[in-house]
Structure 1
Amino acid sequence: MALINTAIDEIGMTPWQWKLFFFNGFGYAVDSLLIVCQSISSPAVDREFGRPNKKVAGVPLASQVGLLVGAALWGFSADIIGRKLAFNTSLLICAGFVLIAGGMPDYISFAAMVAIYSAGAGGNYILDATNLVEFLPITHTWLVTFMSIWWAVGYMITGLLAWGFMSNFSCATKSTPATCHKADNWGWRYLHFTTGSLVLVMSVARLLFIRMTQTPRWLIAQNKDVEAFTVLENLAKKYNRPFTLKLEDLEGKGRVLHTEKSRWSLFRMSMHVGGLFQTKLLTYSSIVIFANWFVIGMVSPLYSVFLPYYLETRGAQRNGPPSNYTTWRNYAINQVAGLGGPIIAGVLVETKLFGRRGTLAIGALFTMVLQFGYTQIKTPAQNLGVSAAITAASNIYYGTIYAYTPEILPSAHRATGYGICVVLNRIGGISGVLIGSYANVETTAPLFVCASLFGLLVILSLILPFETRGKRAN
């Protein structure tokens, strides 16, 4: 692994790695785009079809279940079959089912399509962050943090589309299935048709404009030294970069144990989980990072998924019944403001004062303070300003955790470890949806819970054992 890392540093940053940053970013964007797509659609779908179970928010729950399945499928399989297949197919799967979802005639069928396209997207940022970090020279590892800008871009695109579609083609806020008819409620369908088409374009662009290979670090973990050497040699030759690694140096380090067994054997699959707990320090690190991801999962649906409901009713309490236009304009502005979070995080993670752990803590702390403050808003301007600041602050945390997680996981077991993180995240998300379903999401109660959970994230961030600033991800 050290020889591979040295060779990547010697080759340096090439145009191919910049393309990888760009096209891996598509996966980040699709993950957030589709989560927000279903959450934006959920109130309108409720008004048109009604919920089969009045208490349970079925569409957000279907999304979280699908995301959990996707994280398990893509995350756990990536250490077995490599990173290439998911890169080439996941967006195409998403695109097809998002387009189908826009034509669904009832609540159950729509929720089913949401679950399937969420499963397609569920492992995207596991694989995208892993792909990128395993090809980057140490001088550019900050790009893994900055790649979360794509996650914010996904939110922004969906927010702007919602402003156009939901404000002009949706039933009134207080409509019921008896008064909300399909002809008056095409906004959520237009949203799905448009985002599905956009994801389809992204998936085709991935196939046409970049030839993805297995990462050298994954290849040597599979005892494929010749293939790993060839990947790096071809990269160096293509861009006329120095390359002094010798194949015999790699092969002279011996063989990776147990690679003669089938990759699908229970023994080798269990090694990927056991590799996350090989030492006391690694065990402690794994447990704390798992806890971070579980808590994030609870926060996300309580705030992001139920924010459309809250914005609708908050405007009514403070300034009379809000128009659809005002509701979705504010939502779009929130998501545009979110672009600032990853940019701030990308700067802070490389500073000696904050590093990765400090940036995580700062993002969580600011979000906690702002969410407590949000419960006291009294004017539409305060509503818009504070909610936009919350989005930006929370994206500082999210952007950093997405980059920090693959950096601290061992390369041979990176996708498995990241997959466990995201599975726990989705379990937390399901818990958050159920909590929100039985709480009153039109009050400030979910915000108090969210703010308290972000306070817990401050502590969980500071007790992480590894600071990876300026260090190589192995």
Structure 2
Amino acid sequence: MTLVNAAIDRIGMTSFQWKLFFLNGFGYAVDSLLISCQGIAQPAVSQEYGSPSAQLAGIALASQVGLLAGAAFWGLSADIIGRRFAFNSSLFLAAIFVIIAGGMPDYISFSALVALYSAAVGGNYILDSTNMLEFLPNKYSWLVTFMSLWWAVGYTISGLLAWAFMSNYSCPSDAVTCARVDNMGWRYLHFTTGGLVLILSILRVVVIRMVQTPRWLLSQNRDEEVISFLANLAEKHGKPLELTLEELRQEGNIIHTDQSVWSAVRIRQHFVALCRTRKLAWSYTVIMLNWLVIGMVSPLYYVFLPYYLASQGRKVGDDSNYTTWRDYAINQVAGLIGPLIAGVLVESKIFGRRGTMAIGAFATMVLQFGYTQIRTPAQNVGVSAAISAVSNIYYGTIYAYTPEILPSAHRATGYAICVVLNRIGGISGVLVGSYANVETTVPLFVCAALFALLIVLSLLLPFESRGKRIQ
């Protein structure tokens, strides 16, 4: 692995990696785009069709269940069959399901399609960050943190589309009846989003011919393919390659590769290796707790954000459809600031990865406590937009830090377990939001308390990956 990393460093950053930054970034963007898409649609769908449960947010719950299934399937399979299959197919499947969802005739069928398109993208940021990291020269590893900008781009697109469609083509919030003809906004949202995702999925196949990452190939004892890829990359970009196949073979063979990738011995190794030492076990335990907590707080705040904006707007005397969705769009645009700040802080000696996560969690906690005390419409949009910005400092960093501290051969498995826990937390968050009454400030206090816990968990992480060689 050290020899391959050194070869990638000598070749340096090429147009291949820059293309990956955009194409893997599409996966980040689609993940957040579709999570917010169902959250935007939920109030309108419930108003038109009624909800099977007076309290349970069934659409949001379907999304979290689908995301859990997707994380388990795409993530756990990536260390077994490689990263390429998910890269080429996940966005296409999601696009088809999103377009179909826009035509669903009732609450249950729409929820089912939400679960399907959520499952299609449920492992995207596992695979996209892993994929990107394993092709990068070491000094460009900060780009994985910066990739979270794409996650904010997805939210921004959904916010602008919601402002355009939901404010103009939705039933008033106080309407007694809500007919299809008066409530086309959520359908337009899904048709437009599905078309966009379809275009992005085609670009992933047309712009670049994805190959398995050299680090994954190495873990499979496929040394010839590693050298072939590096030689082609070096030749195409006029870079040096001193590493030879003989040098790799002199290091010996990877054990158990004579057995099937689906054998119990090889699959077990993907789990056991994550906790091979005491310090590694402690690190992985704390990182899993981080993911479990953000799983609870993300849907509790972001999925129910339209409700908070409306209820807080009602408190200050401005809760119209137009104002709610305008403020939602402003929130999502403000979210673009967070990854930019994170990209700078993670490379500073003072903060590094762990300090940046703690700062993001602390600022979010303070602002969410403050959001419960707003008194004017300007405060409603200003404080909520600030929350979107600073929370993305934390999210952007945790998305990059997680694959950095996991061993390459088992990286996708380790990340997948974290995201599965994240989705379990997400289901819990939806249940809390469903029964805690999002028309009040109670869920906001819960969110703030969870971010306080994230400050502690960030500082408990034993490894600081800034400036370190990523294996």
Give the structure 1 partner of residue 437 of structure 2: 440
Q: CA deviation at 1:298?
A: 0.2
Q: CA deviation at 1:133?
A: 0.3
Task: Give a deviation string over 1:63-100, Cα, whole Å, max 9, x none.
Answer: 00000000000000000000000000000000000000
Give the structure 1 partner of residue 126 of structure 2: 126
Note the 1:302-317 alignment, pairs <5 A.
302-317=300-315
Q: CA deviation at 1:53?
A: 1.2
Give the structure 2 partner of residue 411 of structure 1: 408
Q: What is the rounded CA distance, in whole Å, between the counterparts of 1:40 and 1:140 in structure 2?
A: 36
Task: Give a deviation string over 1:97-140, Cα, whole Å, max 9, x none.
Answer: 00000000000000000000000010000000000000000111
Q: 3-state SS of the aligned residue for 1:472?
A: coil
Q: 3-state SS of the aligned residue for 2:392?
A: helix
Task: Give a deviation string over 1:310-346, Cα, whole Å, max 9, x none.
Answer: 11121112115x2211110100000000000000000
Give the structure 2 partner of residue 424 of structure 1: 421
Give the structure 1 partner of residue 457 of structure 2: 460
Query: 1:276–1:413: 8 Å Cα contact kept in structure 2?
Result: yes
Task: Give a deviation string over 1:167-201, Cα, whole Å, max 9, x none.
Answer: 0000011235xx10101000000000000000000
TM-score by length of 1: 0.99
Give the structure 1 partner of residue 281 of structure 2: 283
Give the structure 2 partner of residue 209 of structure 1: 207
1:231 maps to amino acid: F
Match of 1:395 among 392, 396, 402: 392
1:50 maps to amino acid: G
Task: Give a deviation string over 1:266-294, Cα, whole Å, max 9, x none.
Answer: 22111101110111011001100000000
Q: CA deviation at 1:242?
A: 1.0
Q: What is the rounded CA distance, in whole Å, between the counterparts of 1:256 and 1:175 in structure 2?
A: 65
Q: CA deviation at 1:159?
A: 0.2
Q: What is the rounded CA distance, in whole Å, between the counterparts of 1:215 and 1:301 in structure 2?
A: 32
Q: What is the rounded CA distance, in whole Å, between the counterparts of 2:358 and 2:437 in structure 1?
A: 29
Query: 1:32–1:154: 8 Å Cα contact kept in structure 2?
Result: yes
Give the structure 1 partner of residue 13 of structure 2: 13
TM-score by length of 2: 0.99
Note the 1:55-204 alignment, pairs <5 A.
55-176=55-176, 179-204=177-202
Q: What is the rounded CA distance, in whole Å, between the counterparts of 1:441 and 1:382 in structure 2?
A: 19
Query: 1:173–1:312: 8 Å Cα contact kept in structure 2?
Result: no
Give the structure 1 partner of residue 254 of structure 2: 256
Task: Give a deviation string over 1:332-368, Cα, whole Å, max 9, x none.
Answer: 0000000000000000000000000000000000000
Q: What is the rounded CA distance, in whole Å, between the counterparts of 1:378 and 1:249 in structure 2?
A: 68
Query: 1:72–1:420: 8 Å Cα contact kept in structure 2?
Result: yes
Give the structure 2 partner of residue 53 of structure 1: 53
1:173 maps to amino acid: S
Q: What is the rounded CA distance, in whole Å, between the counterparts of 1:200 and 1:247 in structure 2?
A: 40
Query: 1:408–1:466: 8 Å Cα contact kept in structure 2?
Result: yes
Q: Give the root-mean-square deviation of aligned CA atoms.
A: 0.6
Q: What is the rounded CA distance, in whole Å, between the counterparts of 1:259 and 1:151 in structure 2?
A: 36
Q: What is the rounded CA distance, in whole Å, between the counterparts of 1:267 and 1:435 in structure 2?
A: 40
Match of 2:380 among 374, 379, 383: 383
Query: 1:102–1:190: 8 Å Cα contact kept in structure 2?
Result: yes
Q: CA deviation at 1:229?
A: 1.1
Q: What is the rounded CA distance, in whole Å, between the counterparts of 1:133 and 1:316 in structure 2?
A: 45
Q: CA deviation at 1:369?
A: 0.3
Query: 1:50–1:107: 8 Å Cα contact kept in structure 2?
Result: yes
1:268 maps to amino acid: R
